[in-house]
Amino acid sequence: MENDQSLYLKTDDNKVINEKYIRWVKKMDECLKVCTKADGCDEKDTHKICRINNPYSYDKLNDLFINFSKI
């Protein structure tokens, strides 16, 4: 991001995560599963961001997901 600013995303369970701590993202239909633990996550440790619940966060993270997949 520009000017070293962080992007914060709201999850479906009303938590806020910092994009700098995202370890991996798994894309599912209209949702994204996000891992923020330094030593990795299993399915129960992930945060879920769905388009219907958090459209702003979903779109921002999905844009990052799309940009990284082009590399």
Quick check: pTM over 0.95? Answer: no
Name the 3-class secondary structure at 30.
coil
pLDDT tens-place string over residues 2-59:
556 778 999 999 999 998 999 998 988 899 999 999 999 988 899 999 999 999 999 9
What is the domain extent for residue 54? 2-69
Q: Are strands 31-35 and 47-50 parallel, antiparallel or unpaired?
A: antiparallel
Residue whose pair of structure tokens reads 């991001």 in the numeric block: 1
d(CA 25, CA 46): 9
32 by Cβ neighbours in 10 Å (0-12 / 13-18 / 19+) ranks as buried
Band the pLDDT of 1: cuts 50, 70, 90. Answer: very low
> Within a 10 A sphere around the Cβ of 34, how many other Cβ atoms?
23
- Tally of domains within the chain: 1
